[in-house]
Structure 1
Amino acid sequence: MNSDPCGGVGILGIAWAFGGMIFVLVYCTAGGHINPAVTFGLFLARKVSLIRAVMYMVAQCLGAICGVGLVKAFQKPYYNRYGGGANELNVGYSIGVGLAAEIIGTFVLVYTVFSATDPKRNARDSHVPVLAPLPIGFAVFMVHLATIPITGTGINPARSFGAAVMYNQAKAWDDHWIFWVGPFCGAAIAAFYHQFILRAGAVKALASFRSNPHV
């Protein structure tokens, strides 16, 4: 986004808008894929095939371009005023800080997705009702609060790509790689942590318990 990350609206308002909309979209699409980073994490966890993951990512990017196109068509004064909503590294922050913000922010989001949709956890904690879109929406809300001042909050490569394509100014492309590398790294770490550390730990604990029923 531009040098004024709040765009006169306020960080809290922007964060609520993103978090609330993600909650609605995830709920209405029954967990539909709307973020390449999340799709990538699910692919690494072997929950989505390679072909399906690639097709999802292409559709997500095309959808983002169309969405930004509609905003540009119907709200052009605001679109131009706020730099087309394109993500960019804000003044005072280094590339390293921006990349770290995107990695950590996406890790929080993707790990929340894994936790909220884990069938084994849902079965184990069936006495605690959890509406999966709710924690996912809150994760997006919290990540936006933390990272809007740094990068304008990407954590979704399709959203960043669509805005950059439609705005198509040099500043929208200068650090654009951050909004792909960061989210994909964060998603990979979340997938590894959930599948091979938490899950592996749970499996070992269960095996140990079964082998020693007197514990």
Structure 2
Amino acid sequence: MSSKEEVAVDTAPKCCAPGKVPYCDPPPAPLLDPSELRKWSLYRALIAEFMATLMFLYVSVATVIGYKNQSTVDKCTGVGYLGVAWSFGATIFIVVYCTGGVSGGHINPAVTFGMLVGRKLSLIRAVLYIVAQCLGAICGVGIVKGIMKHPYDTLGGGANSVSDGYSVGGALGAEIVGTFILVYTVFTANDPKRKARDSFIPVLIPLPIGLAVFVVHLATIPITGTGINPARSLGAAVLYNQPKAWKDHWIFWVGPMIGATAAAIYHKFVLRGEAVKVLSSFRSAHQLA
């Protein structure tokens, strides 16, 4: 064997089986890591999450208000539900593509909470991400209100609410399922095996995430206007600030958090086989005892 071949063997990732695409599962993030507070990378990530959520809310809520404003004159004008869904999905694709390498491109407290449950980030980082996302959402919707004040105030402000004909339970279920689909897609797109295999095509992480947002909006706009993102719902509710926006606001936090938790557990214990590993360890310990 030549010296070059020896170097290639020695530098191969130790966690990779021969003949497989090189990848390594990162260790679980510590629950509490105060040292992060001294790192510029954390604050850079917070700024990225703030700005990405601001841009997301500005584009998406402006699209909603613009569509409603146009359709009041002629029902056949405007982008329609399809265009609104594309606005949300395409904007998520853009901002995740732009910020994924800095902060992970969460743009959503439910995604951040799911990553916390899956031990992909610390509690400190998760809390600060959620604060940055909520502030960015409020500022993004604030820009929309400043530019489109009259239609914003008269056309619902882009706020989420339970649509007529649907129950609170049905709306909660829609938010849970919709968020599950989104967060499940996020976990799958960021799986180390997939990232190693598809690393030469950088759009293969943000693209399915944006498409997940798009298809969930198609299904859920008639039910709740589609939340699946507590920051998006909070930003619109704060700026619109009418009883209808706050009446069932809890749905747009509880539903996404339940859906995100279920997606994180499903991915970790079923798709990645953690349940089998835990069971095997338990059996081995029982046999030794």
Coarse TM-score class (shorter-chain normalised): 0.7 to 0.9
Q: How does 1:18-97 map to 2 (within 5 A)?
A: 18-30=88-100, 31-97=104-170
Q: Distance in 2 between matches of 1:103 and 1:38?
A: 13
Q: Determine whether 1:194 maps to 2:267.
A: yes
Q: Measured at CA, do residues 69 and 138 of structure 1 come closer, stay the same or move farther in structure 2, by a change above 3 Å?
A: same
Q: Distance in 1 between matches of 2:146 and 2:273?
A: 50
| Deviation per residue, 1:68-94 (Å, 9 max, x gap) | 111000111221232111100000000
Q: Determine whether 1:145 maps to 2:228.
A: no
Q: Give the secondary structure class of the aligned counterpart of 1:29.
A: helix
Which 10-residue stretch deviates more, 71-80 or 103-112? Answer: 71-80
Q: Distance in 1 between matches of 2:134 and 2:96?
A: 17
Q: How does 1:167-182 map to 2 (within 5 A)?
A: 167-182=240-255
Q: Distance in 1 between matches of 2:261 and 2:245?
A: 25
Q: Which has the larger radius of gyration?
A: 2
Q: Distance in 2 between matches of 1:185 and 1:63?
A: 23
Q: Distance in 2 between matches of 1:162 and 1:177?
A: 14
Quote the sequence identity (%): 67
Q: Distance in 1 between matches of 2:264 and 2:130?
A: 17
Q: How many residues align?
A: 202
Q: Distance in 1 between matches of 2:120 and 2:144?
A: 33
**Relative CO higher for 1 or 2, CA cutoff 8 Å, sep ≥ 6?**
1
Instruction: Give the TM-score taking structure 2 as reference length.
Output: 0.66
Q: Which residue of 1 aligns with 2:234?
A: 161
Q: Which residue of 2 aligns with 1:210?
A: none
Q: Distance in 2 between matches of 1:67 and 1:121?
A: 33
Q: 1:15 aligns with which of 85, 91, 104?
A: 85
| Deviation per residue, 1:81-113 (Å, 9 max, x gap) | 321111000000001110000000000000000
Q: Distance in 1 between matches of 2:85 and 2:175?
A: 15
Q: Give the secondary structure class of the aligned counterpart of 2:272.
A: helix
Q: Distance in 1 between matches of 2:276 and 2:249?
A: 40
Task: Give the gaps of 5 or more residues in structure 2.
Answer: 1-60, 72-77, 281-289
CA contact (8 A) 2:97 2:206 kept: yes
Q: Distance in 2 between matches of 1:138 and 1:33?
A: 15
CA contact (8 A) 2:198 2:204 kept: no
Q: Give the secondary structure class of the aligned counterpart of 2:105.
A: coil
Paired residue type of 1:26: V
C-alpha root-mean-square deviation of aligned residues, in Å? 2.3
Paired residue type of 1:25: V
Instruction: Give the TM-score taking structure 1 as reference length.
Output: 0.87
